[in-house]
Structure 1
Amino acid sequence: MTKLAERPDWVNRVYCEDALAGLARIPDGSVDLILTDPPYNLGKDYGNSSDQQSVADYLRWTEAWIDAALPKLKANGSLYIFLTWRYSPEIFVMLKQRMAMMNEIIWDRRVPSMGGSVRSFSSVHDTIGFFVKRKDYYFDLDAVRIAYDAATKKARSRSIFIGAKWLEVGYNPKDLWSVSRLHKEHPERADHPTQKPLEIIERMLKASCPPGGVVLDLFMGSGTTALAAKRCGRDFVGFELNPDYCAIIEQRLAALAQELTAEAMPQPEKKAPAKRRATVPKAAKVAVKTPVAAKKPATAKKSSAVKKTPARKARSAAVAEDVVI
């Protein structure tokens, strides 16, 4: 069980227990968003039998947790649910009887098209349902707009945009989300078979949970919803039945807390580099010649006995060998 901040007792916690039993901890009408990725009932091993039920049992169980979770939503709250195409029609009908469906979003996992069945087309997507309780639901489109690429910006002045409204902040994300699944070497990767990328979860949070709001995840898995909430300035509450996954969530949240603390600490100011004095190359050695004293004009010879006195050489001036200007 993880607690990150002094909030109501049930906020910013992951309870290592069955969500159906634990939802009683959460007051009705207290969460802004339900964002969840339930077992797909495809026979995967999550450390329990939750993904290995009969079709009838799986659908009954799904309806039970939906009925237990929806009262926790605020009146203007929303729900996102990850599903497989095998069960999305039945579960969408359940939810349509209780909420209004806004979108069916296709997550293209961008997996290689090698292998797969030889008697059907390869499945490379997950289905995401987006539902709301009423018409005035919270939705912040500007928070998730996608910036225009260079080619689109260049085309802005062309006639194809005549009569169209140009939005400087970017365009509305479509209902086809192409985001690569997390490969084994991905830095986000944890030891969980169906871990979802932060990019997808953060998009849902920014669009459908107000800053400071609370997101509920009934099937936390590796804890990506909790991490995304803290990264986006939201609070969370969730449940996970497998103790091994609870330990992974604990580790991931602790690492994120250290990261956020380090980012919040004031960084030492970087000193501007000292100005370097311009270096002037040393001048070459200056050869200074001592001027030679000019000879006096010859005088008339007095006698051959008179000896000529040689002119005295002037002393050389003292000159430094290297001159720096």
Structure 2
Amino acid sequence: MSPREKLGEFALNSVYQIDCLEAMKKIPNRSVDLIITDPPYGDNCNYGRWNKKIANNQHPLINCIALFEFQRILKNNAVVYNFTSWKHYPFLTEFVMRYTCFKIRHMVVCNKKGMKLGYGFRNKHELILVLEKGK
């Protein structure tokens, strides 16, 4: 495999089932153009109809740790699309503005179609924080 087909030790255009915080440590500095992420919220809750625990969801600062790695691996002017919930949005935006080099470019609201009441009131939208790394 040629170096152009790899990013650090990872083959391009491949899917890995691996802890992203550990994997990012192996990615070279300023080598990524775009990150789209839907990380755990760090609230240690069970989500979904199967009531399964999400790996790394017990760490309340998981998004903050990931954002510092994103700063390192992203090229200048690269973008992050970070899915989040309304509960975590205020903390996440405050953290981004105070402690990172990212500029908040947009907040996208994704409306979910076909949602039913289920087990009480549920969110009919998802928030996506759009961040840009400066130079």
Which protein has the bigger helix share?
1
Residue 96 of structure 2 corresponds to 95
How many corresponding residue pairs? Answer: 123
Q: Structure 2 regions of 5+ residues with no counterpart?
A: none
| Rounded Cα–Cα distance in structure 2 between residues aligned with 1:128 and 1:69 | 16
Amino acid at match of 2:107: E
SS of the residue 1:15 aligns to:
coil
> How far off is 1:63 after superposition?
1.2
Amino acid at match of 1:111: G
Go from structure 1 to structure 2 and tell me whether the alpha carbon gap of 1:73 and 1:46 turns closer, same or farther (over 3 Å shift): farther
**TM-score of the superposed pair, with normalisation by structure 1:** 0.34
CA deviation map 1:67-87 (0-9, x unaligned): 122211000101101111111
The worse-fitting range, judged by mean Cα deviation, of 71-80 and 96-105 is: 96-105
Mapping of 1:62-101 within 5 angstroms?
Answer: 62-97=63-98, 98=100, 99-101=102-104
Any conservation in 1 of the 2:46–2:52 contact (CA below 8 Å)? no
Mapping of 1:227-238 within 5 angstroms?
Answer: none
Q: Structure 1 regions of 5+ residues with no counterpart?
A: 136-325
**TM-score of the superposed pair, with normalisation by structure 2:** 0.76
Residue 130 of structure 2 corresponds to 130
SS of the residue 2:109 aligns to:
strand
| Rounded Cα–Cα distance in structure 2 between residues aligned with 1:37 and 1:122 | 18
Amino acid at match of 1:108: N
> How far off is 1:47 after superposition?
5.5
Amino acid at match of 1:76: N
SS of the residue 2:66 aligns to:
helix
Q: CA RMSD in A?
A: 2.5
Structure of greater relative contact order (alpha carbons < 8 Å, 6+ residues apart):
2
Residue 111 of structure 1 corresponds to 114
CA deviation map 1:174-221 (0-9, x unaligned): xxxxxxxxxxxxxxxxxxxxxxxxxxxxxxxxxxxxxxxxxxxxxxxx
> How far off is 1:65 after superposition?
1.6
SS of the residue 1:13 aligns to:
coil
Any conservation in 2 of the 1:109–1:124 contact (CA below 8 Å)? yes
Amino acid at match of 1:7: E
